[in-house]
Amino acid sequence: MTHKNALLIIDAQYDFCHPEGALYVPNAEQDMRRLAQFINTHVEVIDHICVTLDTHFVNDISHPAFWQDEETKTPPPFTQITAAEVKAGKWTPRFFPEKTKQYLENLEAQGQFPHFIWPEHCLAGSKGNALDEQVMQAVLHWAHQQGKDYQVVVKGTYPLTEHFGIFAAQVPEKDHPETLLNKSLIEALYQYDQVYVAGEAKSHCVATSIQQAMDYAPDLAAKMTIIEDCMSDVAGLGHLGTPIYDRAKKENIPFITSDITKLP
């Protein structure tokens, strides 16, 4: 038996959505205002809400504390680190050096995302990890109105790989199930006729999630609709997601805006 409408909210968290957040995405607070309005407008016809939470610890491969240079200084946020630089000794991983070198080589072989150092963000248990307050209030209103609970999916806790997409880590490790393809999430969303997608950041986590759906679960991707005014790019990095959205359009994934008055 299928149900009609699911809403997939990707990483709509304080650190991405609030101007004082550690990895603020410009315009994200307006995205979240529109997303909250979308939920409140369609509260009676949204059958399921799934919220994903990007969740990290301090000594994550994408955080400054994981790395040091020849003078033992940590890299500033938004530094790009390559496998060649590690091999040359410009940057040294403080933990798991061999695994880290292999990770960088595997990541670069994919030819999509370079390895960036981000500010410490979405730390487990922190204020920055919490869902944006505007969206949280709308989700709570939906839960009370519908008599249903929202689904929460945590990603990113394994420290030796980026985990942009919600369905799998950038470089999955077979001995760490949390990095592997999340089949239960795919199955949960597949129950619905339509899956509306919103969240942050458009250039990274949302784009990669859509790409993973197209690659690993095309039948689910075919049910997706992208709410394009409820997501924004990491500043200066929008080009990383552009090929994915171009592909989505070629595969006839619909794009809508949040002011749609009636869901199909």
Written in H, E and C, the secondary structure of 30-47 is HHHHHHHHHHHHCCCCCC
| Single-letter residue type at 33 | R
* Residue showing tokens 């409820």: 230
- Distance, in Å, from the CA atom of 197 to the CA atom of 206, rounded to the nearest integer, reads 8
Predicted local confidence at residue 1, as pLDDT: 43
Q: Tell me phi and psi for residue 126, to 5 degrees.
A: -90, 165
Closest listed residue to residue 155, CA positions, set 141, 143, 168, 146: 168
Q: Which ranges constitute the DSSP H helices of 56-179?
A: 83-88, 97-110, 133-146
Listed as ranges, residues in the chain with pLDDT below 50 are 1-2
> Do 139 and 131 meet the contact criterion of CB atoms below 8 Å apart?
yes
Predicted local confidence at residue 3, as pLDDT: 74
Closest listed residue to residue 169, CA positions, set 184, 154, 191: 154
CA distances (Å), 111 to each of 106, 114, 156, 170, 235, in order? 9, 8, 21, 12, 20
Q: Are strands 92-93 and 67-68 parallel, antiparallel or unpaired?
A: antiparallel
Judging by beta carbons within 10 Å of its beta carbon (0-12, 13-18, 19+), is residue 31 exposed, middle or buried?
A: buried
54-78: pLDDT as tens digits: 999 999 999 999 999 999 999 999 9
Domains (range + CATH), the chain:
3-58+122-256 (3.40.50.850), 64-110 (no CATH)
Q: Take residue 39 and report the two structure tokens written for it.
A: 């939920």
- Distance, in Å, from the CA atom of 180 to the CA atom of 171, rounded to the nearest integer, reads 9
Q: Where are the beta strands (DSSP E) in 149-253?
A: 151-155, 192-199, 224-227
